[in-house]
A and B are shown apart, each in its own frame.
Chain A
Amino acid sequence: MTVLHALTLACYGAGVLVTGFSAVAALLLRDALDRLHLLTLATTLGVPLVGLGLVLKNGFSMTTAMVVFICVLLTLSGPVLTAATGKVAAQRHGLVDQESPQ
């Protein structure tokens, strides 16, 4: 097993475990706003780690380009979706004003 192979498996395994842990931990929490923290963990840490593992595995190729595009899309859209969902949840719980931009 080369160092590159070990690094590939370490990044991929860590990403899978972070994503799985986030989903299982979200199941244990009760509030939507608390669960959003774990969703952010999956999108900003789990997805890039899985993508990095696959990039190291495939090298410089079209497959890598597709994987990078998918992971960048998920990583960039994750905080946007989290903010939008958090705003709706806060409005529905009466924590912020409906006219508030936050």
Chain B
Amino acid sequence: MNPWLLGTIVLVAAGLGPALWIGSRGEPTDRLVGLELGGVAVVLAMVSFSQAVDQPSYLIVPLVLALVSVAGILVYTRLLAPRR
């Protein structure tokens, strides 16, 4: 096991796990914070996994996820804003 794969496992276990828990409970804004945390953890885990298996072409997945995640969260902040 190389350090990159170990980092991937840590990011999924300690990053994505709590983010999923936060994102599935509580108020909508709490869930949104969980979604943001999960997005960061998954992007970093995918980048680390790409390094672990020595496949740079896999980096396109976290790149697209990072772009889509930003747009998606901004849409959620718009939808969750209180109505006037």
The residues of A with any CB-CB pair to B shorter than 8 Å are 9, 12-13, 15-17, 19-24, 26-27, 32, 35-36, 38-39, 42-43, 46-47, 50-51, 54, 57-58, 61-63, 66-67, 69-70, 73-74, 77-78, 80-82, 84-85, 87-89, 91-92, 98-99
Contact = CB atoms under 8 A, between A and B. Distances in A.
A91 B33 CA distance: 15
Given A78-B40, A92-B82, A66 B7 contact: no
B48 A50 contact: yes
Majority-rule SS of A interface residues: helix
25 contacts: A9-B3, A16-B48, A19-B44, A20-B10, A26-B33, A27-B21, A32-B29, A32-B30, A35-B30, A39-B37, A50-B47, A54-B48, A63-B56, A67-B47, A70-B59, A70-B66, A73-B66, A81-B73, A81-B74, A81-B77, A88-B29, A89-B29, A91-B82, A92-B28, A98-B81
Nearest to B80: A88
B14 A23 contact: yes
B18 A26 contact: yes
Interface of B: 3-4, 7, 10-11, 13-19, 21-22, 26-30, 32-33, 36-37, 40-41, 43-44, 47-48, 51, 56, 59-60, 62-63, 66-67, 70, 73-74, 77, 80-82, 84
Nearest to B6: A16
B28 to A, nearest CB: 8
Contact of A77 (B27, B29, B63, B70): B70
